[in-house]
Amino acid sequence: MTRLRLGTRGSRLARAQCQRVATDLQTRVPGLAVELVLIETFGDANADVPLTPALGQAFFTKEIEAALLEGRIDAAVHSCKDLATILPEGLRLVAIPPREDPRDVLVTRAGGLAQLPSGARVGTGSPRRRGFLAAARPDLALVDLRGNVPTRVAKVDEGVVDAAVLAAAGLLRLGMSDRIREWFEPALMTPAAAQGALAVQAREGDAATAALVAVIDHPDSHAEVAAERACLRRLEAGCHAPVGALGRVAREAISLDAALVGPDGVVRARAEGPVGDAEGLGARVAEDLLAQLGLESLRTADWAGPPPERLDV
């Protein structure tokens, strides 16, 4: 019997996501035994602390990646958008399963964004979501909101905030779609790169695990994620940069829409290309955004937060 140790965070959503990957693998690989290994990350251990640039990056992945490099697990399952723009040396993405809806949504007790009164408190810890919200409704009070998905929804129910912005994927995977009051279209709020996608990560050189996990890879989702992450890399956008990117595959072509919130408002770019050049497409869209800003890279823009660096985990 083949055994596979899958590492993941311990939150309800992370466990549900990892179990989905395990079930899909066992369906496709007869006789496979999968063990879920729960690992506490910095972001989980400090759930009430605002994740500021001073605290670094990879808040929800670093400890899991360390376990993978040390051989304590065979593969890791992440929410792909949590991964650092530049992966640690020795690790690679070996599968992107079929992607969930990548959009952001609004959770309120009643009504959508237009119905929120001036001064309503909207909770989010994301600079990207804050930027797009401020552009759409500058009269709202944007407040930091952290915690897992059920916790953030509970803050709305308790009246701590009037509304919260979350990824649709988390609510859908937890069976909480009834809490969605409004879906944000990408033209209003461009999703984070790789939002809605899961990523299975393995060690470089571990061909056996890579081949085992590759059976659940979804080529279209993988291409979309590749384009979006390539855009971030060319921008040199770290996890605090107010940047969104959304790829869409249709037949043999892929389109990429990207947007960022700069000092003078929202800047957008779009391009299309062959699926086989997803990463090249991402780089070209990033070049367009930078040209509009008059920058060589977001590395020189203080408003974009610290640039990405390869982590030593």
Q: Which residues are catalytic?
A: 82
21-46: b or e for each residue (b if 16 or more CB lie within 10 Å)? bbebbeeebeebebebbebebbbbee
CB atoms within 10 A of CB 198: 27
Distances (CA, A) of 278 to 220, 226, 250, 261, 282: 10, 6, 13, 23, 6
Nearest to 88 by CA among 106, 110, 115, 70: 70
Please work out, in degrees rounded to the nearest 5, the angle formed at the alpha carbon of residue 45 by the alpha carbons of 152 and 126.
45
CB atoms within 10 A of CB 273: 17
> What are the structure tokens assigned to 168, written together?
């649709």
Q: Strand 104-108 and strand 182-183: pairing?
A: antiparallel
Q: At residue 292, what are phi and psi to the nearest 5 degrees?
A: -65, -30
